[in-house]
Amino acid sequence: MSTDSEQTGTHPAEPHHDSLSARLNWLRAGVLGANDGIISTAGLVVGVAGATTDRMAILAAGVAGLVAGSLSMAGGEYVSVSTQRDTERAALRTEARELREMPEAEERELAGIYQAKGLSPELAAQVARELTEADALAAHADAELQIDPDNLTSPWQAAWASLIAFAVGALLPLTAIALPPVEWRVWTCVAAVIIGLVLTGTISARLGDARVGRAVLRNVLVGTLAMTVTYFVGVLFGVTVG
């Protein structure tokens, strides 16, 4: 059976949908997904724009990148959350078996957890007894595993969330490069992407309690580096082929 502290480190309250930290986790994942969508699609469309002035070619590449990226993010998220949920279900099964086979030891263990959190031995024992009488499995799932058995993270929900987040991010460079006249395309896209990355960098730094300035600078540097590299690859390719 795993200890309280181990689990807190690896599962930052993610499955508790109703808690504030869980909502922040979802928001953080959404912002990171949008950030990925901005950077990878910007690199793609700026690269194609380096090779050709054909608006349809740029648009087609951008839309294909949006769809492929969203699906890949959704698939990755589905797999990772499914695995996490399998792990949580297995832990719940183990816990249920232990509760059947050694209920006294489990109640002592629960009391021990509350005592370690600062309750007096008498109060911890009383809390453990009352929680065990109410719903033993839910009490152990909460205290030991930090999971709510009735509210495990849904892989489909997580997949949809990352699909939408990536697509929203991807739409920014895509529209910024598709709408302006040919001579302004790349610069409009670069400007829009920098603004977008300042925004996502600021939000994710705030959510993670990190230094905003540095986080934003790093984020913008990564994005502009991606666009610069793909642009020159596109130019080289356009010169060689065209």
**106 sits near Zn ion (criterion: CB under 5 A):** yes
The number of beta carbons lying within 10 Å of the beta carbon of residue 214 is 11
C-alpha to C-alpha distance for 203 and 35, rounded to whole angstroms: 11
> Which range, of 39-47, 71-79, 104-112, 162-170, touches Zn ion by CB under 5 A?
104-112
Least gap, CB of 62 to Zn ion (angstroms):
52
Radius of gyration of the chain (CA): 25
Least gap, CB of 87 to Zn ion (angstroms):
16
Least gap, CB of 18 to Zn ion (angstroms):
23
**139 sits near Zn ion (criterion: CB under 5 A):** no
C-alpha to C-alpha distance for 170 and 2, rounded to whole angstroms: 41
Tell me which residue of 1, 38, 13, 33 sits closest to 222, measured CA to CA.
38
**36 sits near Zn ion (criterion: CB under 5 A):** no
CB nearer to Zn ion: give 77 or 106: 106
CB nearer to Zn ion: give 88 or 106: 106
CB nearer to Zn ion: give 14 or 106: 106
**88 sits near Zn ion (criterion: CB under 5 A):** no
Contact 6, 34 (CB under 8 A): no
Which residues touch 127 (CB under 8 Å, ≥6 apart)? 110, 111, 114, 119
Least gap, CB of 85 to Zn ion (angstroms):
20
Q: What type of residue is 87?
A: T
Least gap, CB of 140 to Zn ion (angstroms):
4
C-alpha to C-alpha distance for 228 and 46, rounded to whole angstroms: 8
**107 sits near Zn ion (criterion: CB under 5 A):** no
**140 sits near Zn ion (criterion: CB under 5 A):** yes
Interface with Zn ion (CB under 5 A): 106, 140
